[in-house]
Amino acid sequence: MPKTYSGNTSWEGYKEHFERIAAINGWITNAEKVQYLMISLENPASDILRDVKEKSENAYNDIWSALARRFGMLDGPRESMRRFDTRRLNENETLVEYEQALRMLHREG
- How far is residue 97's CA from residue 108's CA, in Å, rounded to a whole number? 17
- How far is residue 39's CA from residue 34's CA, in Å, rounded to a whole number? 9
- Please name which of 38, 101, 21, 5 lies closest in space to residue 109, comparing C-alpha atoms: 101
40 neighbors 2 (Cβ within 8 angstroms): yes
pTM for the structure as a whole: 0.67
Across 4-14, average pLDDT = 87
Question: What confidence tens digit (pLDDT) does each residue in 21-78 have?
Answer: 999 999 999 999 999 999 999 988 999 898 888 888 899 999 999 998 888 764 567 7
**pLDDT value at position 37?**
95
